[in-house]
Amino acid sequence: MPRRTSQKSKKRSESPNALKKINVAVGHVSAKPVNGLDRIARAEWTRITRAFAASSRLCELDHGLLALYCSAFSRWKRAEAALLAEGDVLTVEVRDTHGNVTHGKPVVNPLSRVLESAARQVHRYGESLGLSPASRTKQGVELAEPREEEQDENSEWKV
């Protein structure tokens, strides 16, 4: 059965205040990373801008979002490395009223919260930029085969 269109929705689409599509000329995101990013974030910025260079899917308007993504990515990588070095569980010294250590109490490493928060941010910003398979599918992006020189780019991420 066909859907009925209410008079209100017809009036809204015909009103002068209805949303209209406009074309805005904007440039591409610069391949040069913004100031304030650390080494890992700059490497990620370069990787992302290279990957999107031919498609022109990133523009100047995405500059801030890309900076947030790269910063969160760096925080995630650094927290992951520190958590691997320190371990998931830390032992905290419990002291008595005289300051003597009575025993050790196992606690969850606080870096795990930093890691989890950064991973959520990377996921959220990455979705907005079209970096996940699901978001690329929603946006109708088809991937081309990688070039030979792109095979060993992940070495720049090392902490």
Task: Specify the pLDDT at position 10.
Answer: 57
Looking at per-residue confidence, does 2 or 82 come out higher? 82
What integer pLDDT is reported at residue 33 of this predicted model? 86
pLDDT at 4 over 90: no
Specify the pTM: 0.70
- Predicted confidence at residue 122, as pLDDT, reads 95
Residues whose CB is less than 8 angstroms from the CB of residue 35 and which lie 6 or more positions away in sequence, other chains included? none
- In this predicted structure, what is the pLDDT of residue 6? 60
Tell me if 62 sits within 8 A of 29, measured CB to CB: yes
pLDDT band at 45 (very low <50, low <70, confident <90, very high): very high
Query: Scanning the structure block, which residue is given the tokens 């070095």?
Result: 85
Give the model's confidence band at 135: pLDDT under 50 very low, under 70 low, under 90 confident, else very high.
confident
Does residue 42 surpass a pLDDT of 80? yes
pLDDT in tens, 54-111: 777 787 888 889 999 999 999 999 999 999 999 999 888 898 888 888 888 999 999 9
Element (H, E) at 104: strand 101-108
Compute the residue count for the chain: 159
Q: What does the pLDDT read at residue 140?
A: 74
pLDDT band at 11 (very low <50, low <70, confident <90, very high): low
The answer to whether the beta carbons of residues 139 and 126 sit under 8 Å apart is no
With b for 16 or more beta-carbon neighbours within 10 A and e for fewer, the 71-97 pattern comes to bbbbbbbbbbeebeeeeeeeeeeeeee
* CB of 59 closer than 8 Å to CB of 26: yes
pLDDT at 69: 95
Question: What's the average model confidence in pLDDT over 102-127?
Answer: 93
Among the ranges given (7-16, 22-31, 69-78, 123-132), the one the predictor scored with the smallest mean pLDDT: 7-16
